[in-house]
Amino acid sequence: MNYFPLFADLAGRAVLVVGGGSVATRKVNLLLQANAQVRIVAKKLNAKLTALEAENKILWIAKEFNAEQIRTAFFVIAATNDEALNHRIFHLAESQHKLANVVDDQPYCSFIFPSIIDRSPIQIAISSAGKAPVLARLLREKLEALLPQSLGDMAEISGKWREVVKAKLHSVTERRRFWEKAFNGRFASLVKSQQQEKAEQTLAIQLEQDYQGGFVSLVGAGPGDAGLLTLNGLQEIQQADVVLYDALVSDEILSLIRRDADRIFVGKRAKGDCVPQEETNALLVKLAQQGKRVVRLKGGDPFVFGRGGEELEVLAEHQIPFSVVPGITAGIGATAYAGIPLTHRNYAQSAIFVTGHRKADASDIEWQTLARSHQTLVIYMGTLKAALISNRLQQYGRAADTPIAIISQGTQLTQKTTIGTLANLAELAETAPTPALIVVGEVVKLHEQLVWFGEESEEKRLQKQPHFTLDSLSVEKVA
């Protein structure tokens, strides 16, 4: 970048112009458009400048230039026909760390004036860094023709409506969509045809249509690896005003939440007890009723041992609109990374997902069904009940040497798979890190052969490109 472009606020600021001829006049007119307080030093003023002085639009402060005049100026323009004087002004300004521009003498400029397309408040400044002024001028002419005069009015009205829109549409994405629709649609046409009142009515109607009020999205975060989050899930969490998450949601996934969204933890507390489900339900309702866009982020899939159904029932009761974004459940994700196919032509024709978080002798557990051969049993929340599970399955006919796997922290960098048999399941479960899944069935035999493609060493995973980073997917802030 040869020059750094910036837009300066000159209103009320003193700018020194040395020179009283036509070159100085051109610059003075420009400065007055920006409401600068123009101070002139010149032996005499031409007719135009004399008129401006008579109207008190500019201040003729002296006939002779001196260094002191620079001290109180914001910047200096030298526009005399005395080259030596111009250069002296430049050097004096430099020594006082003031910006200076000797008109049409680029080496003696610490800033240059761009070509300007003015559709205030929209302004476009073009510069070729003095290398191709004609090209810059042609470009300006092209852009002038391209940009409707109404652009300024459009920006002006948008400025007026900005706060109103912000108060109603809470997320940046919603606001961006709102303005894109307005600038590409009826609003823009009406401003162009100078029907400002109608244009504003159109904005009001569009705002009412776009306003959705509170909304809850139940999002499955998958078992840990952020790459397993769905694109819809990612979109939801990046639009959320507030995210309620539990202990199973990995840090990698949490890092994808917008920085300015609130995060509320609703999982297991440090002392071991859980935030009661009723408390979470009430919070979801409260936040949605405040008009917030809420994401309820759950490990794995929200409908697989996730109590997602119960939360939606409460939302439906309160007539709060919601959506569900499924996630990859641990039983699918962790087994894949561990190289254990759930079904296989030779070993298993079905797979059952079951929770171990029940009393083993509960009458509605069909142990007979669970103990069937040629099927894979995936047990969630089972490690604490591993002894009972192992006994019952054997009692109902599963062989003691049936292969089992305990997959801990599945799909995360720390994933660990422990292989054993139904006979020593309880013993292995005691030391397995949590969260952990138990897989029972012949398919576990394939782990050794297939794990290379799934479960990866930490080193290997770290070498891979990160799946998502906030920066690569960041939501552009518009309103």
User: Smallest distance from the beta carbon of 248 to ligand SAH, in angstroms?
Assistant: 5
Tokens of 190: 């009406």
User: Smallest distance from the beta carbon of 290 to ligand SAH, in angstroms?
Assistant: 27
Q: Which amino acid is at 443?
A: V
* Spatial separation of the C-alpha atoms in residues 129 and 123, rounded to whole Å: 18
Taking the least distance from each CB to ligand SAH, the nearer of 238 and 329 is 329
Query: Please, which residues have CB within 8 angstroms of residue 381's CB and are 6 or more apart in sequence?
Result: 305, 355, 356, 357
Helices (H), 147-195: 150-168, 172-184, 186-192
* Spatial separation of the C-alpha atoms in residues 452 and 140, rounded to whole Å: 60
User: Smallest distance from the beta carbon of 445 to ligand SAH, in angstroms?
Assistant: 20
* Spatial separation of the C-alpha atoms in residues 166 and 163, rounded to whole Å: 5
Residue with tokens 């004399």: 50
Taking the least distance from each CB to ligand SAH, the nearer of 153 and 225 is 225
Given the DSSP bridges, would you call strands 403-408 and 416-421 parallel, antiparallel or unpaired?
A: antiparallel
Verify whether residue 9 is a known catalytic residue. Answer: no
Taking the least distance from each CB to ligand SAH, the nearer of 123 and 457 is 457
Among 225, 241, 246, 301, the active-site one is: 246
**Do 233 and 219 meet the contact criterion of CB atoms below 8 Å apart?**
yes
Closest residue (Cβ) to ligand SAH? 300
Residues of the shown chain interacting with ligand SAH in the complex, contacts defined by CB under 6 A: 223-224, 248, 298-301, 304-306, 329-330, 334, 380-381, 407, 409-411, 435-437
DSSP-based three-state secondary structure for 268: strand
Residue 302, preceding bond cis, omega within 30 degrees? no
User: Smallest distance from the beta carbon of 9 to ligand SAH, in angstroms?
Assistant: 54
Taking the least distance from each CB to ligand SAH, the nearer of 340 and 436 is 436
User: Smallest distance from the beta carbon of 406 to ligand SAH, in angstroms?
Assistant: 9
Verify whether residue 246 is a known catalytic residue. Answer: yes
Taking the least distance from each CB to ligand SAH, the nearer of 300 and 441 is 300
DSSP 8-state class, residue 358 = S
Among 268, 286, 460, 477, the active-site one is: 268
Q: Name which of 320, 293, 317, 318 is nearest 219 in CA terms.
A: 293
Q: Where are the beta strands (DSSP E) in 228-312?
A: 242-245, 262-265, 293-298
Taking the least distance from each CB to ligand SAH, the nearer of 214 and 306 is 306
User: Smallest distance from the beta carbon of 437 to ligand SAH, in angstroms?
Assistant: 4
Give the length of the chain: 479
* Spatial separation of the C-alpha atoms in residues 60 and 397, rounded to whole Å: 106
Catalytic sites, residue numbers: 246, 268
